[in-house]
Every structure is written in structure tokens, then in C-alpha cells.
């Protein structure tokens, strides 16, 4: 099945308390406009390589409502990261349109933050100064951001580690720093590319849960790339399933598990049925074929 359907899951609109620049304050939910936060429409992408043209992504279309968590899953090399980078404005596309909060994608937007698989922290800066980096780059108010940095470090469980250097931290702690750095400038749209994939299973599970709790508190829009089906089901409102390269959308799965979620959410009959549906889509078989 080739599916170009839009994601249509609705959540109730939330009240918000806007900050001076229009961003909601930390701890408040995000007001939802009728426009999707992200629209990807008929997007194609090829790369020119030494061995010829590689078709990475073919005719990908989806919409992400404000405040939703959408995960992309698919086999290695199917173009998940490419889609994320195109939304972030870090990669061009050949055909189609992408709209991010009403305008074209562009790198370095104040309203959009990206987090990659490795933490990419600056080794000569302390934990606190790494988290403050976007504040300096974006020229934001330092004293206000210093307090927010402290709050975020507490939130991600790094209180007491502010003056440590990245090389003094475990991989999981480094990713927590990276998460705090992502949140410090309060982007409305978070793009995360397998942020916890390099971590051991237990740490990944713990960070997944923290992400779920953070999302349930802040209600930001999140697009999340992962190989891990259970992780996608745990955190998401919707899972987009892609085929092997060239990546096309093969299924768009609404995840209607109740929130707040716990690690047990994916082990309920509903959770396991969703995991099974995604696995079947990845295997290229429709439910009718399997039954």
C-alpha cells in the first residue's frame, strides 16, 4: 500500500501564555492553529554520488499538527534522516513543497531545533556553557536563559553536573545535555534523529520516558526518527512507516494509546497490536495478506 494520506489525529486545543516573542513560556501548552506545524507534500530527493544518482526519497507527503509527536520508522537508508534534514532546511529537495510553521524550511531558525544521534558537545565548554550555546548564537537574553538552563539541567537530571566537561559524563548524560541544549531556546518544532540509538537499552528506555513526560508537559511539535518500533509507539501520536530506498510512505499509523504513557503502554494488547501493524508494514505485507 502506498499512502499519501495526511495525518489527521486531533488533540484538543490548549491554552497558552505567550512569552514576549510569542513563544509560550516553559511549562505551558502550545496554542494550536488550524495550519499544520509541518506540511510535506509530494517531495522527491536524489543525491548525486560518484556512482551515479541515488534516489533517496520518492513522493513523500504528510502533515504534522501542532503539538503532535510523529515518528518515522523504516529500514536503514530509506531516507528518514534526509526527510528530517529537508524539514530543518539542511538539505534541498528536487520536487514538492515543505512548509514549516507557515514558511519555507531554513537552517538556524529560532523556532526549530534539531538533535542528532551523537551529542556533538564542545569538549572545552562546561555542561552549562554547552547548554547556553544556542542562546549565544541566537543572541537571546543571557540572564533569563541562565535560569532556564538551570531549570532544564534539573529537569533532565543533571543538577550538580553544571561545571563538568562533556568528557566527564556518560553517553546518556551527554545526550541529556544535548536535550537541554535543544530545549533552552524553546523551539516550537523539535527534530530528533535517533537521539538515543547509541545508548544501552536501559538508558534509552529511561530517556524515552523522560521525553514522553517532557512532551506531555510542554506539548511541542516533535518529529522523531528511529529504528525502534516500540520506542516510536511509546512516544508518538502517529508513526510514519517508510519502505526501503527510495523511501516512500507505506503506512501512517495513529497511536491512540492513552496518555500519560508508561513503559508498559507498549505491552498492552493495544500497544502490541500497533507494534505488529508497523512490523507488517515494514515487512511489506498488508493485514489482508497476513490474515
Segments of 154-226 assigned E as strands: 189-193, 221-225
Query: Taken in order 260, 262, 268, 274, is the CA torsion positive or negative?
Result: positive
List contacts with ligand ATP (CB under 6 A).
47, 49, 54, 56, 74, 76-82, 245
Instruction: Take residue 81 and report the three cell numbers written for it.
Output: 534522516
Which CB sits closer to ligand ATP, 119 or 131?
119
Which CB sits closer to ligand ATP, 76 or 291?
76
Rounded least distance, CB 190 to ligand ATP, Å: 17
Distance CA 51, CA 108 (A): 32
Which CB sits closer to ligand ATP, 128 or 245?
245
Rounded least distance, CB 283 to ligand ATP, Å: 17
Rounded least distance, CB 167 to ligand ATP, Å: 26
Instruction: Take residue 136 and report the three cell numbers written for it.
Output: 549565544
Rounded least distance, CB 278 to ligand ATP, Å: 15
Which CB sits closer to ligand ATP, 77 or 89?
77
Rounded least distance, CB 231 to ligand ATP, Å: 13
Helices (H), 27-138: 80-88, 127-138
Which CB sits closer to ligand ATP, 82 or 178?
82
Rounded least distance, CB 170 to ligand ATP, Å: 23
47 Cβ partners below 8 Å, 6+ apart?
53, 54, 56
Burial 245-280 (b: 16+ CB within 10 A, else e): bbbbbbbbbebebeeebeeebbeeeebeebbebbeb
Segments of 155-215 assigned E as strands: 189-193
Which CB sits closer to ligand ATP, 24 or 246?
246
46 within 8 A of 54, measured Cβ to Cβ: yes
Q: Is 291 helix (H, G, I), strand (E, B) or coil?
A: coil
Amino acid at each position: 500500500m502506498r499512502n499519501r494520506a495526511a495525518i489527521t489525529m486531533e488533540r484538543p486545543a490548549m491554552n497558552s501564555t505567550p512569552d514576549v516573542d510569542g513563544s509560550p513560556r516553559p511549562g505551558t501548552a502550545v496554542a494550536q492553529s488550524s495550519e499544520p506545524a509541518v506540511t510535506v507534500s509530494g517531495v522527491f530527493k536524489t543525491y548525486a554520488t560518484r556512482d551515479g544518482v541515488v534516489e533517496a526519497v520518492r513522493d513523500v507527503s504528510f502533515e504534522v499538527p501542532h503539538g503532535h509527536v510523529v515518528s518515522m520508522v523504516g529500514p536503514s537508508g530509506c531516507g528518514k534522516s534526509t526527510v528530517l534534514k529537508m524539514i530543518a532546511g539542511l538539505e534541498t529537495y528536487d520536487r514538492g513543497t515543505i512548509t514549516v510553521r507557515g514558511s519555507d524550511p531554513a537552517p538556524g531558525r529560532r523556532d526549530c531545533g534539531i538533535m542528532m544521534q551523537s551529542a556533538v558537545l564542545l569538549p572545552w565548554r562546561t555542561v552549562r556553557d554547552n547548554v547556553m550555546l544556542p542562546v549565544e548564537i541566537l543572541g537571546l537574553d543571557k540572564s533569563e536563559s541562565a535560569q532556564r538552563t538551570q531549570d532544564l539541567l534539573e529537569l533532565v537530571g543533571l543538577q550538580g553536573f553544571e561545571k563538568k566537561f562533556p568528557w566527564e559524563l556518560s553517553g546518556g548524560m551527554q545526550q541529556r545535555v544535548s536535550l537541554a541544549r535543544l530545549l533552552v531556546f524553546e523551539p516550537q518544532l523539535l527534530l530528533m534523529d535517533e537521539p538515543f540509538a547509541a545508548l544501552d537499552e536501559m538508558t534509552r528506555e529511561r530517556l524515552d520516558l523522560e521525553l514522553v513526560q517532557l512532551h506531555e508537559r510542554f506539548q511541542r511539535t516533535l518529529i522523531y526518527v528511529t529504528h525502534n518500533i516500540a520506542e516510536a509507539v511509546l512516544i508518538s501520536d502517529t508513526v510514519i512507516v517508510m519502505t526501503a530506498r527510495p523511501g516512500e510512505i507505506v503506512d501512517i499509523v495513529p497511536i491512540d494509546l492513552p496518555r500519560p504513557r508508561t513503559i508498559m503502554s507498549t505491552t498492552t494488547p493495544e500497544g502490541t497490536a500497533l507494534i505488529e501493524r508497523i512490523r507488517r508494514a515494514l515487512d511489506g505485507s498488508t493485514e489482508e495478506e497476513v490474515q
